[in-house]
Structure 1
Amino acid sequence: WRRVDRKAEAREAERQHAGRALHVYPDEDGTVRIRGRLTPEVGALLMQALAAAREAVYPKNVPAGTCAPGVSQETPTMEQQQADALALLAETALHHGIDPGAPGERYQVVVHVDAPVLADADQAGQSVLEDGLRVPAGTSQRLACDASRVVMRHAPDCRVVEVGARTRTIPPALRRALHHRDRGCRFPGCGVRFGQGHHLRHWAHGGPTTLSNLALLCRRHHRAVHEEGYTLDRQADGELRFRRPDGRVLPEVPLPHEVPDDPVHAIRARHEAQGLVLHARTATPGWLGERLDLGWAIDVLHPLARSAAPIEWACNWPARHHSIT
C-alpha cells in the first residue's frame, strides 16, 4: 500500500486550479475557436452536461427508418454533435437566466441587420454581429424568427436618430401554447424536445406572430429551413407540409417508439405472451464436437438433395446424425 502524500496532493490541486483557463476567440474565417483547460471536477461536470445535451439533440433510441425518405440519415460526427450540444447548453443557460437580477439581459447575442436584408436575403445591406463579424442574411432571418427585437432608425450619415422599445418576437404565453401544441421539433422523423419558434411566413414579410403561423423546430432543422433550402407551409387541414430544396414533398413519418422504464421486464412479458421460454442455455448449440456427417448435412440442407433419390455415401465416419446449428 502506498501512503498518500496529502501535501503533494494539495499542491497538485492548487496547480490545477491556478492553471484553469478558457480561450474563446474568432478565427479568420468568422468561426469561433474554443481552447481551454479545466480542473478535473469542472471538466467532469462539463462532459456530463455535454453528454446529456448530446442525448437530447441526437437520441440514441431512435429506431432505424424513422427519418423521412430522401432525408440524409447520416449521423453527424462526434465532434459535430459536441458542438451542437454546447450550443444547446448555451441556449438553455440564457433561457433560464444566469443573472437573477435581469435574466438574459446581460448575456445575449446582438445582430444588426438592415430591414431590406431581413425581408430579402439578396438585398444589399448589413448583417453583422455586434463585434462586426458578418453573418449570412439567412442566419439573421433565422435568429429573428424567435428573438427580442429593437427597431432603430438612422439618419443618412448613419447616426441613430430613434430607438424603438424592445419587444419579444414571440410572447411568453404564445410560446407556452406553441410548446404545448407541437411537443417538439415538427420536422419529419425528428421530435427533439428543445425547439425554436419558426414563422411560416416571416414577420419581416408581413407574417403575423400567431399560433397558426408558428411551428416548433430544433436548431438543426431550423437552420435547414432558413439556410439549406428546405421549406414548409401549413395546409388547409392544419397539418404542416415540408419540402426538400428541389421542391419534392417530405412525407410524414411516425415518431420513435417510447422506451419503457423497464425494457427488460417489457421484453419478458412479450415473450411470455408469445409462449417463448428463453433461458441462459437457449442459444447453446447441441453439437458436442463429433465429426460432421457430410452426406447427411447435404441431404438435409440442399434443396435438390431433398427431392432426389437417397444417395449412398462411402465413408468411414460413424453412422450418426448430428444437429447443425
Structure 2
Amino acid sequence: MTVTVANSERVVLITGCSAGGIGHHLALELAAHGCRVFAGVRTLSKAQTLADNARIEAVELDVTSNESVEAALAHVLAATGGRIDMLVNNAGVLCAGPAVEVPLAQVQQVFETNVVGLARLCRAVAPVMMERRQGTIVNVGSVSGYVATPWIGLYAASKAAAHAYSDALRMELAPFGISVVVVAPGSVRSNLVANHNELLAGDYTSRYQLARPAIEARTGLSQNDDTTPVNLFARVIVPQLLRKSPSAYITYGAHSAAAWFLYYVPPVIRDYLLGRRFGTHQLAKDLPSVAACPFSGKKAGGGAGCPMSGKSGTVSCPITSPTAMWLVLGAAVVGGVSALFK
C-alpha cells in the first residue's frame, strides 16, 4: 500500500517492524496518533499484518546493507516531498550465551545490527532533518545497556554502545533543532527472543553446560507472565515520543526499576545479587575443583580425597598453605637428620 502524505502529518520511518515485535506495535500506535508511517522490514512478507492500515506502508529495509538503506530512504523521500520528521531505530538482534564462547561471527552480527546499523540510518536521515532544522531520532536501547547481567553480555554491550552514541548525537544535533531520544525497554514480551540463536544446542561443547538452565532462563526472561505486553509498551511510549520536547531517556517495562536501582549499586554488591539471580554463584558450587594435591598429584574434584586431610571436593589441601608447607619441610629435614645419626 502506498501512503499519501499531507503536509500537516508527521512522517515516521521505523526499522525492524516484523510482526509481533516492538517496531510493529510502535508503527500501529504512531499511525493511530495520526502519523504517516513507513515500516521497515527485511522481508516484506513479515509486514502483512500492517498492510490493511491506510497510514502505514511497508518498506524493504535491511539496516546492515548500505544499498538497502539508500533505496528505502530514496523511496520515502520521494513519497513525502523530501522529509522525515521522526526516525525510530528499532531493528535489533539478541545475542545470548557465555561471553567468551559466543562465535565471533555472531558477535559481529549483533554489533553490525544493533550499533553499526543504527549509525547507518542516523547518517542517512540526519542530513535531511538538519536541512529542515527539525526532527526526532529515537534509538531503541535496553535496560541491559544500563546494567549487564550474566549470559547476555554482548547484547548488553551493543545496547550500552547505542546509549553512548545517542548521548553524543543528542548534543551534536541539538544546534540543528533535532531531538535524540533513547527508549530503553525493560522486559517486554516481543519476538526478539524467538529470533535468537541458541548457543548451547546440539553437539556444541561448552564449559558452561552446567549453567545451561540458568542461561536459558535468562534468555527467556522477557517472555514470562510478569513482563510487559508489547502493545501496552507502545501505548505508553508513543505519546512521550510525540511531545514537542521529548525526554532524552524513556525507560518503561517490567524490571526496569530494578535495573535503575542496580545501576547505582556498588559493583561488588551488584555482582553478588546478579550472580545469585542468574546462576554464576551456583555454577561456582557445581564445578568440580581442578586443584591437584602436591603429594599425590590427584585432583580434588570427582571425589578424590586429599591424602593429608581426607577431604574431597573443593576443600583445599592443607599442605598448600605457606605455613603448613614450611612445617612439613621442617619436619622432613629434622627426620632426615635424625636418621643420619642413628
The TM-score with structure 1 as length reference comes to 0.23
**Whose RCO is larger (CA < 8 A, sep 6+)?**
2
Structure number with greater Rg is 1
Give the structure with the larger helix fraction.
Answer: 2
The TM-score with structure 2 as length reference comes to 0.22
